[in-house]
Amino acid sequence: MPENLLDRLPTGARVAIVRLRSLGDCVLTTPAIDLLKRARPDLQIAVVVEDRFRAVFEKNPSIAAILSSSYAAIARWHPQLCINFHGGTRSMLLSLTSMARWRAGFAHHSGAGLAYNIKIPRAQEILGEERIVHTAEHLASAMFYLGVPRTDIPRAILYAETRLAAKPYAVIHPVSAAAYKTWHAAGFLASAEYLASEAALEPIFIGAAGDDLSPFSKHRIVQGAALAEVKSLLAGASLFVGNDSGPAHIAAAFGIPVIVLYGRREHQQIWAPWKTTAAKTFASPDGISAIAVDDVLAAIAELNPQRA
């Protein structure tokens, strides 16, 4: 472990955290940023992120700047410390372009020897526990390695404009980036019908502009909305139901009850809702389609804040 690198950073030093994507990864980076800022409130922390995910970090008081993922932007920031949480080729080149005195990244990244002069070991080694590590713990462990005092890892931190809704509602996210992570439409339709008829919650389906949400057309749909709008929608929801995806992590960050379905059982631990108020997660050795509708409906009944 380096000799408490944070103690070697001058007062007011600039730090760049490279976190290009994806949505869930960005959300789960915020606990690590919070830990760093608590340990060194004087640091000026910038996040390097793709523009489509910058809303994750907006209005976060721990963050001094949100930089585009360009070589010029990180070079202009002149950080003394650059931490690469992404690990791909472009992020390594961004780390090198930063010209930071200290460039840190996980040792398992391919090309780590060239890009980093501080190689962060496995989270299990840092935490002293040989077990499956949640993504939020993995990222926070890097901060512990760099000198942040070991402490409890907080919930993900997001900020959103709050809006009053005419009636309580639940958000359903029925799509994902891969087929093996996508529960069948019939299950989500059954969930929507149950929410409306038994849970006193209006179901609202969300998705990206290119998603096929036609199976859910009888219900309210919010599609292709800006990420800031999606944050506000999720922040005001009473319940979330959906596949393992970025919106699930946003909902968990706002502390609303979440029901999340996983395509692989190991992802149920690595990507579980992080420190949300209440959560139910499901996975099956036979794949996501084998998750029983009745089990999900029972979870809705249990977590529904509108229940008597």
Query: Over the chain (308 residues), what is each successive 10-residue block's mean pLDDT?
Result: 84 97 95 98 98 97 97 97 94 96 91 86 94 96 97 96 88 95 98 97 97 97 97 97 97 96 94 92 97 98 80
Note if the bond before 22 is cis, omega within 30 degrees. Answer: yes
Q: Which residue has the tokens 């059954």?
A: 190
Strand partners for 220: 204
Task: State the Cα–Cα distance between residues 287 and 71, nearest whole angstrom.
Answer: 41
Provide the whole-model pTM.
0.95
Contacts of 216 (CB under 8 A, 6+ apart): 172, 174, 185, 188, 189, 192, 205
pLDDT of residue 45: 98
pLDDT of residue 2: 61
Cα R_g (the chain), whole angstroms: 20
What's the CA angle centered on 60, arms 44 and 269, to 5 degrees?
105
pLDDT of residue 277: 80
As assigned by CATH, the class of the 169-303 domain is: alpha beta
Q: Enumerate the domain spans of the chain.
A: 5-146, 169-303
CATH code at 5-146: 3.40.50.2000
> By the 8 A CB rule, do 34 and 206 touch?
no
User: Is there a shared CATH topology between the 5-146 domain and the 169-303 domain?
Assistant: yes
pLDDT of residue 308: 46
Which of 93, 55, 96, 11 minimizes the C-alpha distance to 232? Answer: 55
pLDDT of residue 25: 96
pLDDT of residue 166: 85
